[in-house]
Amino acid sequence: MVFSGVPFLYYFLPVVLIGYYLMPGRFKNGWLLASSLVFYGWGEPKLLGLMVFTILLFYGCGLAMDRAVTRRGKRLWLAVSVVISLGLLGIFKYADFFLTSFNALTGLSVPLLRLALPVGISFYTFQCLSYTIDLYRGNARVQKNIVNFGAYVAMFPQLIAGPIVRYVDVERQLRQRQNSWEETRLGLRRFLVGLGKKVILADNFASLCRLYRASGEQTVAFAWMYAVAFTLNIYFDFSGYSDMAIGLGRMLGFRFPENFRYPYMSRSVTEFWRRWHMTLGGWFRDYVYIPMGGNRVSRGRWVVNILTVWMLTGLWHGAAWNFVLWGLLFAALLLLEKVLPLDRLPGALRHGYVMLAVVLSFVLFNAGSLSQAAGDFGSLFGLAGLPLWGAETGYYLMSYAPLFALGVLGSTPLPHALGTRLEKTKLGGLLEAGFLTGLLLVCTAYLVDGSFSPFLYFRF
């Protein structure tokens, strides 16, 4: 089940919310846990057992850590949670990648496992690890109520594509939270804006990307259209999902951390990663980079720390060499910014450099293989004698020009600023209600028409 689907919007969500609001406070987490397990099992019931096992694993390790009287005992149970959870992640997500690479290097033919990748396993594994690590560090209190803990792990708003919600962020809210019509209204508004980002913008940019792949006309201009389209596609897809998750959480009384803050407004790659997928960047910073020594080590060790963290960041996104290179590319750019005085350049030039780097990086990110990535870069820069322009290129540029304009505008703070200004007017409430109603109707029309693309981050 996905947020941008008719079954979720018109069947699952209304039933869950009505039941949740009518439920006495002490039963709300139980209802949330049951609803979340239904949500997860809807698409892959065979892997529902893995979710239940994950809940029991971290719940049990948390209790054992709390009862351990020595630091060594606590460390043992922390190691159990880390080894088993990362082992499962490695088996399901990375086993075939390493086996394929091993076969290519050795010439052997070790059979692949070909296991189905559990949706959202990268997200909920990192969330669970935050619990036992913070418990070991003394930054969190043990959760002795298994229903409350299960509701945290399996909570459907952010279960399968984030944001990555650490246990300490919602520890108090799991025990007690307030629901109000105002919070529900604000959550619904955030959810519908995210739905519009996904269905109207992201899915249409995805359609153009598919047209490029299927087209018989290869031109330099069409290649750049594809690159920019995917850059906007992945932003509106992922930030739209994050908006929906945050909105749903707010309707349920939870405050989830922000995940995006207009990253395409950045003037450095460093700033870009402070604005893009912020919960993942914060997780790697606090649980990998700083424990390795961060920047409080020798210059050589610091470079190793940067390369390690960004190689892991790339691997987190996918089990393929293009993701590894994607992560290392950003590591190189971040190191470069520490050496070169780029902050002395005019702001427009710095912004242009960042956007060029991001667009090119996402070409690598979206390639099905390294050979396809090489071909895509060749097309961008006119290698192999590609023409600059073509009739089909012109047709698609004219057809999609309004979408590109809307996408560029939507990736800036201007729409939010305009909405805030209108909200303060006398007709603000009426205008908002009309806009959100129209947005829901348009999204529903797209979904009924079958214009749907799966969330990109489901595969991670």
Active site residues: 317
Q: Which residues of 7-23 are buried (b: 16+ CB within 10 A; e: fewer)?
A: ebbeebbeebbeebeee
Residues 6+ apart with CB under 8 A from 110: 99, 102, 103
Helix (H, G, I), strand (E, B) or coil at 318: coil
Which amino acid would we find at residue 197? K
What sections of 44-166 are H helices per DSSP? 48-67, 71-89, 95-106, 121-137, 146-154
Backbone φ and ψ for 331, nearest 5 degrees, come out as: -60, -45
The span from the CA of 361 to the CA of 293, in Å, is 28
Residue located via tokens 């996104």:
317
> Can you say whether the dihedral through the CA atoms of 338, 340, 343, 349 is positive or negative?
negative
Question: How many Å apart are CA 323 and CA 310, to the nearest integer?
Answer: 10
Q: For residues 74 and 180, give the distance between their C-alpha atoms in angstroms, rounded to a whole number.
A: 40
Q: Is 296 helix (H, G, I), strand (E, B) or coil?
A: coil
- Other C-beta atoms closer than 10 Å to the C-beta of 430 total 10
Tokens of 171: 């520890």
Residues 6+ apart with CB under 8 A from 272: 263, 266, 354, 358
CA–chain centroid gap for 390, Å, is 36
CB of 362 closer than 8 Å to CB of 205:
no
Q: Which residues contact 208 (CB under 8 A, 6 or more apart)?
A: 225, 226, 229, 396, 400, 403
From residue 239, alpha-carbon distances to 248, 351, 427, 435 in Å are 14, 20, 28, 20
Q: How many Cβ atoms from other residues are within 10 Å of residue 377's Cβ?
A: 16
